[in-house]
Structure 1
Amino acid sequence: MDAPWFTLLLGALATWRATHLLALEDGPFNGVLRLRQAAGNSLWGQLLDCFYCLSLWVAAPVALAVARNPLEWLLAWLGLSGAACLLERLGPASPPPLLNLEGDSDELLWTKTRSAGDDPSARPTPETSPETHTDTGPVHRVR
């Protein structure tokens, strides 16, 4: 690749993706989850629990692909880790709620659709609603 900015961009995205996978996801076939459980509360386990710490270690080998000399490697290492941290902060603060298809009551999920003029604060709660709607259309998430 002739464009260094493109290589740096790919390196930043790769650093974020690998760090996110190791620190915050269960991984394919729960492999990463088992790795974190095996590490426990050891030094390695604490490293896997901290996105920001882990991004430094993930960025180090990625920086080798981006840099051409030792000074560039040092700058790329810290820059890739910083970019991964910024990308992580741009994401949602918490994962979205999961759709519950088991039929249990969930206050965030409603099967009754609302019109544009409905006041959400006047909407009955599941406990006080006189009727139960089970299959009236698409599920809408209400905040």
Structure 2
Amino acid sequence: SMGEDAFRKNAEEYLEIFGLAAWKDELIGSYSMGMKQRLLLSAAFMRNPRVIILDEPHNGLDPKGVRLLKDILFRLKNDGTLIILSTHIIAIAEQICDKIAIMNRGSVVVQGTNEDLKNYAKSSDKDLEDIFLRLTSDYEVSGGR
């Protein structure tokens, strides 16, 4: 368990990382949507969890915030943290996740590594988005989008 001093140090560090240190004494009601999301992410990370579950964590974040989130997730992953991520942004899953489960209408269609999904879809597509569309709909993958 983390002591109070270590917790405070981590809290300050994540508020700084997410650009909220200057706002730490403000009421949360005055925060923008993106600031609230960064605060929630800071709170989730500050106790150095071994397992973290994130549902659409990039919602409300600007491109800089999304990049920062990805960098933190890579660091946590490399430190051995198990990250369970729910996202509709397939590129984020593709970049961060070692294993992916594709769901359609509440059921898992397929799960595995990127390579497993390509094999299952009998697809040479390099793009996980095309594989997702191939596995979850009658969508015809073409050169244009």
The TM-score normalised by the length of structure 2 is 0.27
Instruction: Report the structure number with the largest CA radius of gyration.
Output: 1
Choose between structure 1 and 2 for higher RCO, CA contacts under 8 A separated by at least 6 residues.
1
- Give the helix-richer structure, 1 or 2: 1
The TM-score normalised by the length of structure 1 is 0.27
- Give the strand-richer structure, 1 or 2: 2
